[in-house]
Amino acid sequence: MTARERVKQLIKVWPKVYPDAHTELDFRNPLQLLVATILSAQCTDKRVNMVTPSLFRKYRTAKDYANAPQVEFENTIKSTGFYRSKTKSIRGAMRAIAEVHGGRVPDTMEELCALPGVGRKTANVVLGNAFHKNEGVVVDTHVIRLSQRLGLTKHKDAEKIERDLMKLVPREQCADDLIKFEMHCFGVTILCVLNQKYHQECDNRRSSVDDQLPGVGKMKSRSRKKPDTNDKHSSSKCPGAAEHHGRTAREVAFLFVLF
C-alpha cells in the first residue's frame, strides 16, 4: 500500500474513530488561542487550561499583555515550564500585534510567523482553529512519530514533514480534525499502548492488540513497572485513557491493520 493510498483510507476511517476530536486548549478568541498555544510548548494542554482562566481575566487585550510586568507574568505562567522564554514570546508577540496590527491577531501565515516567538506550528493552530483557514498541518511530536511510523515521511524536521503531509492530504482536509487532532490523538494512544510504564488501561489495550494482531501490541514496548497510584501517568490520568480518547482496544487494533 502506498502512502497516498494509506492516507486515503485514513481520511475515511479517522473521523469515525475520533468523531469528537477537537483542540484541548480552552479559548474564546484568536488572542486567547495564541497565548494558550505558546504556553502549550513542552507542556500539557491540561496544565495550560489550569493557568489560562486567571490569565485571560487579567489580560484582555494585546496591549495588556505587552505591558504586563515581566516578573509578575513569569510567576503566573511558571507551572507551564520555560516560563521566561514564554513570557518573552508572549509579550513580544502582543507588542507587535498592538503596534503593527491594531490589536487584532493577524490571519495569514506570513504575518503570524513574523510575530516574535511564533513559528509555523503555532501559526497553523491559530489559523486552523480560530480562523478556519487551510494553510498547513500542525506537526507536533505525536504527528512526527506517527507520520514516520505510517511511512508518510522519511524526514525528522517538522517543516519538511509538513510539506510531505500536504502533498498527500487534500487541501480541504489540512485544517480538518483529521490531521490536526485525530492524528495527534491516535499518536498519543499508540504511545500509551507502547509505553514503558505500566498503565492498567493502556496495558489492557496492549494485551488486546497483541491478541488480535500477534506481535503488534508488544512492539518496542519495554519492561513494565508496577502501577503507582500516585504516578501522574496512572490509568486515571494517562493521556490514552478512555475518558480522554474513548478508544477501545478493538478500535486501536483495527487501525493498526491499516499500517
Q: Is 140 a catalytic residue?
A: yes
Entry pTM = 0.69
Residue whose entry in the numeric block shows the C-alpha cell 501517568: 233
Task: Specify the pLDDT at position 246.
Answer: 47
Q: Output the tens digit of pLDDT for each of the chain's 259 residues.
A: 787 887 777 777 766 766 666 678 999 999 999 999 999 999 999 999 999 999 999 999 999 999 999 999 999 999 999 999 999 999 999 999 999 999 999 999 999 999 999 999 899 889 988 998 878 777 777 788 888 887 888 998 888 988 888 888 776 655 454 455 555 555 565 556 555 444 554 455 444 434 433 443 343 444 444 444 444 443 334 444 433 444 444 445 445 444 4
Task: Specify the pLDDT at position 184.
Answer: 56
Name the active-site residue from 121, 164, 176, 203.
121
Name the active-site residue from 26, 64, 140, 231.
140
Q: Is 121 a catalytic residue?
A: yes
Q: How far is CA 44 from CA 60, 212, 218, in A?
A: 23, 32, 26
**Structural domains for the chain:** 30-130 (1.10.340.30), 194-257 (no CATH)
Asked if 21 contacts 182 with a C-beta cutoff of 8 angstroms, the reply is yes
∠ CA 129-130-136 to the nearest 5 degrees?
50
